[in-house]
């Protein structure tokens, strides 16, 4: 992990920018679950696999409704206009392209946008949940992950070595060190933290990077 | 500032409320148009009337019935010569003179689909599924030419997802977020079509000022693109 | 049509008996739509394709609800406990084997239980509606039709000459002249109007009939 | 006599109201048992507790989670050694010690299915469809060995209908006709499983004396075989 990477607020800001004007969004567990705090001023309906369209902030203690939880099993509220749909409709929403975007954590992303985020190599058993449905179904798949593993090995790789979630599904990778578009022309760096060079970034990345023609920090 | 922020949020998540004429603007020639309703109930009369008044042509219309002589029903589209093809389950009705006229003039091609298969093909589209096997129509003239497979000892045919470019939906009540309620059986075809088209145009009898009960919504606003109040100017 | 056939009340009684203890039933248009009057004492929830489970008698004039209609587009009421389900669920009910029985009209039924009830030969266009779904989906398919056409030609035939609705789906044929089980052993006559002989019945029938071992009028 | 006739009708259409122990009687060894709930919500605790207390064995359990350490969750079945196989989407939970124990003892086979595919396979069963093509899992380890087909330019895999012999469903409120309401997200898996099994056993928090609002029912009584009130003796 680079010492000069973005802290969470700046990182989250880049994810928010990558969301564009997305209004219906599913946030994966882990890092993406931290986003609502940074998206409070945005008009977004957060979808949860269990059928809630429009999860709101955690209720005050004592106001919890047991049947209103998110994918991390935390209590949530319903935002105004939020609803609960039948479970099979919830997955029609996911798989049918009705979500503007999803933000997912990941173990690895490949140069071609293949995603690995549900299991580790050699695992006897893992949970997949809705990960594969989200990866194939959301109109835009944004990955939010650290740029490297703790040991410094790259999480952006030429070819996945972790079990695949979906092929070629990732549109944007927002790490703590870069905003990278996954395009037919390859991985295009659009933004890096101040002071970081493309050479430094490439050194932490397991697949070739190209600089955006428009330069970095384009929205 | 919390209050202001709340207002901004509401505005951006709110669905455009437009006239019927505005709602159907920009529907391209040749579009696949899903038209809700069943047996004359739940038919989007205002939107159909507005669509018939445009100059769009060569539409592929997906509709259970092809007109029952009711004011503002899909017969208008056949009368106005807007339809190239109807994908339909129960097209013939004694009072459906416009459709019969279009048939007689050889203006319209008909694809007859069993009712359950018709709704399921649109559900598959809305649910992101490529297709399904169903026992319905296997071995019959309507199953001819379809891929067959015996599953669990039953002959089944393969049916593909049926996507709409546009859906015309009639609801009873909406909130500003586009959440919808239908009245009794008036959700027939409407609720499925509302999930199966790129652009979902909804007419309703009324728009509530407060959000609908979140546990009592038939179609969630996520599926809806615009709202039109029936009878509004 | 036989002069000595059952009148509607007696005929309907045979259909009712064929329903056994069916509780969830779809009645087709035409002749079967006349049945509710004769089934008033039975505990049956009538299903309609449009999503109503539990249609009740026609409301009084002025009490009609426009969105409560049956497959014949007549106004109906809701019986106690009756509900409206989403349309796609209505066809899951039909196709998924959740109806105990359906009673359908027919143009023809073959010796093997093939049903023809949606189109006539050479028709340029016809309506199929939910006929094929009901025929393949209901647990028990009961056909209620006149024993012959108006010209006396048989409606029960060796092989269909009308377009098929579904193959081998019919369980029982209740005509105005006979109650006939469709079985692997062939068409088994279970009941005929008083005074009718099996020879007379066979003469009006285009496929071989066998007499029930238990004799006629078995329930 | 109209009144009497009305009573008879109600009685015969009413669903049996039974204890949890009675509800799970007669479930055969080797049955496919669908267990509702998601993330600890909507779990049929009373029925699971009763089922764990029987001597049934070799069950194939279909359940999103395999136990989260909650009292009366599906972990009971693993602990009691009733399960031969779990068909599941998210089996692992830090507090799911019973399932992990059964795994460690090599007592239980696991079929891991993406969540959307899992619910859709049961929906197909309930809807009388033989199977469907979905893009989910295509090209991944979970899609290995499945029939593949490219539809509309997307690689998809064929998934078959998943039927239950029995479904254990948790609802909030029922009427005597077996019509059900769920609370908020507690319908997850329950509403689909209620359509996908030969025998649908429902536990509810309460049974209303009057019929539920006919336009606000989540699962229609046609799907329901028996009712058990949670906490009743």
The tens digit of pLDDT for each residue in B83-119 reads: 999 999 999 999 999 999 999 999 999 999 999 999 9
CA distance D162 to chain B (A): 11
pLDDT of residue C212: 84
The tens digit of pLDDT for each residue in B40-73 reads: 999 999 999 999 999 999 999 999 999 999 999 9
Calpha distance D110→D60 (Å, rounded): 10
D183 touches chain B (CB under 8 A): yes
The tens digit of pLDDT for each residue in C81-126 reads: 999 999 999 999 999 999 999 999 999 999 999 999 999 999 989 9
pLDDT of residue D233: 66
B127 touches chain D (CB under 8 A): yes
Is the model's pLDDT at A49 over the cut of 50? Answer: yes
Q: What percent of chain C has pLDDT over 90?
A: 90
pLDDT of residue C214: 59
D160 touches chain B (CB under 8 A): yes
The tens digit of pLDDT for each residue in B133-158 reads: 999 999 999 999 999 999 999 999 99
- What is the 3-class SS of D154-223, one letter each residue? EEEEEEECCCEEEEEEEEEEECCCCCEECCHHHHCCHHHHCCCEEEEEEEEEEECCCCCCCCCCCECHHH
Best A65, A90, A96 residue to mutate vs chain B (most B CBs within 10 Å): A96
Which residue in B has a C-alpha nearest to residue D152's C-alpha? B130
pLDDT of residue D5: 37
Best C80, C90, C97 residue to mutate vs chain D (most D CBs within 10 Å): C80
Is the model's pLDDT at D55 over the cut of 80? Answer: yes
pLDDT of residue B231: 86
Instruction: Report the pLDDT averaged over residues C118-147.
Output: 96
* D141·A164 Cβ contact <8 A: yes
* A97·B128 Cβ contact <8 A: yes
- Lookup result for tokens 């609800």: C65
B215 touches chain A (CB under 8 A): yes
Kindly list the residues from chain B whose CB atom is less than 8 angstroms away from the CB atom of residue A96: 125-128, 195
Calpha distance A212→A107 (Å, rounded): 25
Calpha distance C19→C23 (Å, rounded): 9
Q: What does DSSP assign to residue B229?
A: E
Which residue in the list A7, A13, A49, A159 is annotated as catalytic?
A: A49
Q: C36-40, D97-101, D201-205: which has the minimum mean pLDDT?
A: C36-40
Kindly list the residues from chain B whose CB atom is less than 8 angstroms away from the CB atom of residue D214: 184
Which residue in A has a C-alpha nearest to residue D40's C-alpha? A73
Q: B214-228, C148-162, C203-217: which has the minimum mean pLDDT?
A: C203-217
The tokens describing C109, both together, are 């039924």
Instruction: Report the pLDDT averaged over residues D32-45.
Output: 97
Q: What percent of chain D has pLDDT over 70?
A: 95
A30 touches chain B (CB under 8 A): no
* D135·B130 Cβ contact <8 A: yes
Is the model's pLDDT at D7 over the cut of 50? Answer: no
* D130·B120 Cβ contact <8 A: no
Identify whether A49 is a catalytic site residue: yes
Query: C169: exposed, middle or buried (C-beta count within 10 Å: 0-12, 13-18, 19+)?
Result: buried
pLDDT of residue C40: 87
- Tell me the average pLDDT of chain D: 94
Q: Which B residues 195-224 touch D at CB under 8 Å?
A: 214-216
* D116·A73 Cβ contact <8 A: no
* A127·D90 Cβ contact <8 A: yes
Calpha distance B231→B51 (Å, rounded): 15
Instruction: Report the pLDDT averaged over residues D106-110.
Output: 96
A84 touches chain B (CB under 8 A): yes
pLDDT of residue D2: 30
Which residue in A has a C-alpha nearest to residue B12's C-alpha? A43
Is the model's pLDDT at A214 over the cut of 80? Answer: no
Kindly list the residues from chain C whose CB atom is less than 8 angstroms away from the CB atom of residue B141: 119, 163-164
Are the C-beta atoms of A137 and A49 separated by less than 8 Å?
Answer: no
Which residue in C has a C-alpha nearest to residue B195's C-alpha? C88
Is the model's pLDDT at C219 over the cut of 80? Answer: no
**How far is it between the farthest Cα atoms of chain A?**
53
Is the model's pLDDT at D1 over the cut of 50? Answer: no
The tens digit of pLDDT for each residue in A29-48 reads: 999 999 999 998 889 999 99
* D91·A132 Cβ contact <8 A: no
Are the C-beta atoms of C2 and C177 separated by less than 8 Å?
Answer: yes
Which residue in the list C7, C13, C49, C194 is annotated as catalytic?
A: C49
The tens digit of pLDDT for each residue in A81-115 reads: 999 999 999 999 999 999 999 999 999 999 999 99
The tens digit of pLDDT for each residue in C69-83 reads: 999 999 999 999 999
Best C56, C133, C135, C163 residue to mutate vs chain B (most B CBs within 10 Å): C133
* D8·C83 Cβ contact <8 A: no
Calpha distance D153→C133 (Å, rounded): 30
* A94·D185 Cβ contact <8 A: no
Q: Which of C49, C67, C94 sits opposite B186 (nearest CB)?
A: C67
């Amino acid at each position: 992990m680079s010492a000069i990477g973005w802290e969470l607020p700046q990182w989250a800001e880049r994810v928010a920018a990558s969301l564009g004007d997305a209004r219906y969004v599913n946030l994966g567990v882990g890092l993406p679950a931290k986003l609502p705090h940074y998206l409070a001023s945005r008009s977004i309906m957060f979808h949860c696999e269990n059928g809630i369209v429009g999860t709101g902030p955690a209720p005050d203690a004592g106001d919890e409704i047991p049947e209103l939880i998110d994918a991390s099993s935390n209590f949530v509220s319903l935002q105004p206009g939020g609803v609960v749909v039948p479970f099979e409709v919830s997955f029609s929403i996911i798989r049918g392209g009705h979500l503007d975007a999803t933000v997912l954590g990941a173990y690895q992303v490949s140069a071609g946008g293949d995603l690995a985020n549900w299991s580790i190599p050699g695992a006897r058993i893992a949970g997949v949940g809705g990960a594969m449905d989200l990866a194939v179904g959301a109109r835009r798949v944004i990955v939010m992950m650290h740029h490297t593993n703790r040991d410094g090995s790259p999480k952006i790789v030429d070819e996945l070595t972790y079990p695949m979630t979906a092929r070629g599904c990732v549109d944007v990778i927002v790490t703590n060190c870069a905003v990278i578009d996954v395009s037919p022309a390859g991985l295009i760096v659009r933004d890096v933290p101040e002071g970081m060079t493309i050479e430094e970034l490439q050194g932490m990345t397991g697949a070739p990077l190209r600089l955006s023609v428009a330069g970095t920090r384009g929205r | 500032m919390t209050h202001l922020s709340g207002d901004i949020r509401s505005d951006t998540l709110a669905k455009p409320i437009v006239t019927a004429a505005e709602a159907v603007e920009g529907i391209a020639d040749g579009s696949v148009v899903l038209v809700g309703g069943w047996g004359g109930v739940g038919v989007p009369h205002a939107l159909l009337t507005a669509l018939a008044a445009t100059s769009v042509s060569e539409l592929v219309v997906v509709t259970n019935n092809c007109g029952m002589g009711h004011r503002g029903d899909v017969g208008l589209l056949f009368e106005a010569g807007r339809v190239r093809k109807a994908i339909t389950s129960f097209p013939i009705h004694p009072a459906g003179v416009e459709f019969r006229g279009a048939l007689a003039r050889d203006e319209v091609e008909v694809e007859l689909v069993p009712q359950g298969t018709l709704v399921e093909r649109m559900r598959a589209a809305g649910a992101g599924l490529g297709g399904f096997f169903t026992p319905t129509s296997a071995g019959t003239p309507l199953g001819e030419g379809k891929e067959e497979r015996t599953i669990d000892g039953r002959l089944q045919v393969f049916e593909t997802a049926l996507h709409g470019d546009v859906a015309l939906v009639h609801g009873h009540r909406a909130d500003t977020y586009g959440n919808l309620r239908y009245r009794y059986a008036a959700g027939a075809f409407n609720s499925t079509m509302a999930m199966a088209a790129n652009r979902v145009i909804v007419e309703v009898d009324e728009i509530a000022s407060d959000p609908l009960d979140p546990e009592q919504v038939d179609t969630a606003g996520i599926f809806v693109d615009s709202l039109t109040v029936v009878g509004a100017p």
